[in-house]
Amino acid sequence: MNQTRAVLFLPDEASCEGVVRPLMLQSVLFCPLLTWVGKTLMARSIQRFFVVWDKEEYAAELRGCFPAEADVLVSGSREALMDFLSQEGEVEVFPCEMLPLQLPGGSCYAYTAQASALRESWREGSGGAVPGARELTGFTAVYDLPRLREMELSCRDEIVRRHAAAGVHILDGSSVYIDPRVEIGAGTVVLPGTILRGETTIGRDCEIGPNAMIRDCTVGDGTTVNASQANESTIGSRVKVGPFAYIRPGCVIGDDIKVGDFVEVKNSVIGDGTKISHLTYVGDSDVGQKVNFGCGTVTTNYDGFKKYRCTIGDRAFIGCNTNLIAPVTVGEGAYTAAGSTITDEVPADALAVARARQKNLEGWAARRRALHAEKKD
Check: CB of residue 287 under 8 Å from CB of residue 312: yes
Q: For 316-376, where are the alpha helices, taking DSSP H only?
A: 364-376
CB atoms inside a 10 Å sphere around CB 255: 18
Residue 206 near residue 188 (C-beta atoms within 8 A): yes
Give the number of other CB atoms < 10 A from CB of residue 361.
7
Active-site option among 163, 169, 278, 372: 278
Candidates 285, 281, 282, 220; CA nearest to 256 is 220
Q: What is the mean pLDDT of the chain?
A: 92
Task: Tell me the pLDDT tens digit for each residue of 125-180.
Answer: 655 678 888 999 889 888 888 888 888 998 999 999 999 999 999 999 999 999 99
163 a catalytic residue: no
Contact 265, 280 (CB under 8 A): no
**Average pLDDT of 342-352?**
97
Q: What is the structure's pLDDT at 101? A: 84
Mean pLDDT of 268-294: 98
Per-residue model confidence (pLDDT) at position 3: 62
Candidates 263, 260, 288; CA nearest to 273 is: 288
One-letter identity of residue 177 = Y
pLDDT cut 90: percent of the chain above it: 74
C-alpha span between 62 and 50 (Å, rounded): 11
* Alpha carbons 316 and 111: distance in angstroms, whole number: 64
- Condensed to tens digits (0 to 9), the pLDDT of residues 171-230 reads 999 999 999 999 999 999 999 999 999 999 999 999 999 999 999 999 999 999 999 999
More confident residue, 149 or 377: 149
Q: Is 271 helix (H, G, I), strand (E, B) or coil?
A: coil
Residue 102 is predicted with a pLDDT of: 81
Least confident of 17-21, 113-117, 282-286, 298-302: 17-21
Percentage of the chain exceeding pLDDT 70: 94
Q: What is the pLDDT of residue 1?
A: 45
